[in-house]
Amino acid sequence: MLLANLGVKFWLATRQIRAVSRHRSAVPQEFSETISLQTHQRAADYTAVKLRFGLLELALSAAVLLGWTLLGGLDWLNEVLLSAFGPGYPLLQPLALLAVFTLINGLIDLPMSWYQTFVIEERFGFNKMTQKLWLGDLLKSTVVGIAIGLPLAALVLWLMNATGSLWWLWTWVAWMGFSLLMMVVYPTLIAPIFNKFQPLQDESLKERVTQLMNRCGFASKGLFVMDGSRRSAHANAYFTGFGASKRVVFFDTLLSQLTPAEVEAVLAHELGHFKHKHILKRIVGMFAFSLAGLALLGWLSNQSWFFAGLGVMPNLPLQMGGTVSNHALALLLFALVVPVFTFFLSPLMAQLSRKHEFEADAYAAAQANAQDLSNALVKLYKDNASTLTPDPLYVRFYYSHPPASERIARMGAAIAPV
Ligand SMILES: [Zn+2]
């Protein structure tokens, strides 16, 4: 299964690299008025460099997966922690196992993340981070991760121990409660640790946006501008929060690149996602998916072949006086192995997502202006150096957003010079 997974991913990436380089010498006809050859070639190079780096990451993550499972890494770590803690700590040993595992994986990812920011993004002029800011972010996210992750992991392990054979159902309830809580506290408490959020100052834009929101029957606590330019030149806008913490966030990079009419059109697209209940559908889908996953894990964690087949010797009932459970081991093995299988569902998820994007575009065309949205899309493609000539099969597997030309054609807008 892992080989099939790697094979498909490798094949798709090389298809995409070939598609992009095949079209590198000429701007697609429909964009010939809008995008210069130089911009087009920069996008092609950026796409190819990222894909090649992705292949390296793919190989590394496969090696790490094999290292943890069949080569015995997880088994070894478990044994080390068992003898370090002794028999008297039925919760601490599994908790330490989760923590050390996460720490090691984090350390392995670190050089890749550094290279991506300071070599790839830097080379194409996107990176705005200093080494100091990067280190500061790393420190902050580690502290936040420990402050949130450790109590959550302890709660899950405790539930697994205390609630008997239906632990997976209880864990699911706790996990969903936690997810909803995060949706409420993330925008107001966690995101401000990393970025500054200021109320939108531009009065005329505010007026425009407020009118649009009234027209669409949408109430929000506020419009904020985020200092995205501190880290990257990539532009974005998003909705966040839930209930009373709902807010609209514009990256300062977006406001500096788009006209007020284009910002309005982009926001109308985002409102379209709300009107069509895409966010709610996504949350419900995630809840159902987690429930199925946890039920499966509930069953697998009682099967000794599940552990042995993945290179781990389950803790025997008598070992360590019968106090150490296999729950942490089961959680980790499951988290390692499940993505190998769920990858094959990605074309379905991507297709659903692209359908939602078309719906949001149609909503934006009705509530704002299709031509403005089309202009904004072209600008964002240009500024983000996204390729205009993807491989169709790669799109089917990975693209959460339809290619620019399809979106613009579907809206019935023109690709006008911007
Ligand atoms: Zn969208």
Provide the pLDDT for residue 164: 85
Select from 277, 212, 209, 287 the least CA-distant residue to 249. Answer: 209
Q: Given phi > 0 = left and psi -120 to 50 = alpha, else beta, which region is 212?
A: alpha
Average predicted confidence (pLDDT) for the chain = 91
3-state secondary structure of 326: coil
pLDDT tops 90 at residue 22: yes
**Cα-to-centroid distance, 379 and ligand 1 (Å):** 16
Count of CA atoms in the C-beta half-sphere (13 A) of 103: 10
Q: Worst-scoring range by mean pLDDT, 48-62, 210-224, 264-278, 298-312?
A: 210-224
**Cα-to-centroid distance, 146 and ligand 1 (Å):** 32
Instruction: Answer yes or no: are the C-beta atoms of 401 and 350 closer than 8 Å.
Output: no
**Cα-to-centroid distance, 371 and ligand 1 (Å):** 16
Give residue-wise pLDDT tens across range 375-407.
999 999 888 899 999 999 999 999 999 999 899
Give residue-wise pLDDT tens across range 311-351.
888 876 544 445 567 889 999 999 999 999 999 999 999 99
Count of CA atoms in the C-beta half-sphere (13 A) of 206: 11
Instruction: Answer yes or no: are the C-beta atoms of 78 and 329 closer than 8 Å.
Output: yes
Give residue-wise pLDDT tens across range 85-142.
877 777 889 999 999 999 999 999 999 999 999 999 999 999 999 999 999 999 999 9
pLDDT tops 90 at residue 417: no
Q: How confident is the model at residue 247 (pLDDT cuts 50, 70, 90)?
A: confident
**Cα-to-centroid distance, 229 and ligand 1 (Å):** 21
**Cα-to-centroid distance, 273 and ligand 1 (Å):** 7
Instruction: Answer yes or no: are the C-beta atoms of 310 and 70 closer than 8 Å.
Output: yes
d(CA 84, CA 80): 6
Tell me how crowded residue 4 is: count the other CB atoms within 10 A of its CB: 11
Q: Given phi > 0 = left and psi -120 to 50 = alpha, else beta, which region is 320?
A: left
**Residue 265 Cα distances to 53, 308, 388, angstroms:** 34, 55, 21
CA dihedral (35, 38, 43, 44) positive or negative: positive
Instruction: Answer yes or no: are the C-beta atoms of 205 and 235 closer than 8 Å.
Output: no
Return the higher-pLDDT residue of 416 and 284.
284
Provide the pLDDT for residue 156: 93
pTM: 0.86
Instruction: Answer yes or no: are the C-beta atoms of 335 and 310 closer than 8 Å.
Output: no
d(CA 363, CA 274): 10
Provide the pLDDT for residue 418: 60
Q: Given 3-state DSSP classes, what are the helix, strand and coil percentages for the chain, each rounded to the nearest 5?
A: 75, 5, 20
Tell me how crowded residue 93 is: count the other CB atoms within 10 A of its CB: 24
**Cα-to-centroid distance, 162 and ligand 1 (Å):** 42
Provide the pLDDT for residue 320: 45
Tokens of 43: 């996008």
Neighbours of ion ligand 1 (CB under 5 A): 357, 360
Query: What percent of the chain is modeled with pLDDT above 70?
Result: 96
**Cα-to-centroid distance, 367 and ligand 1 (Å):** 15
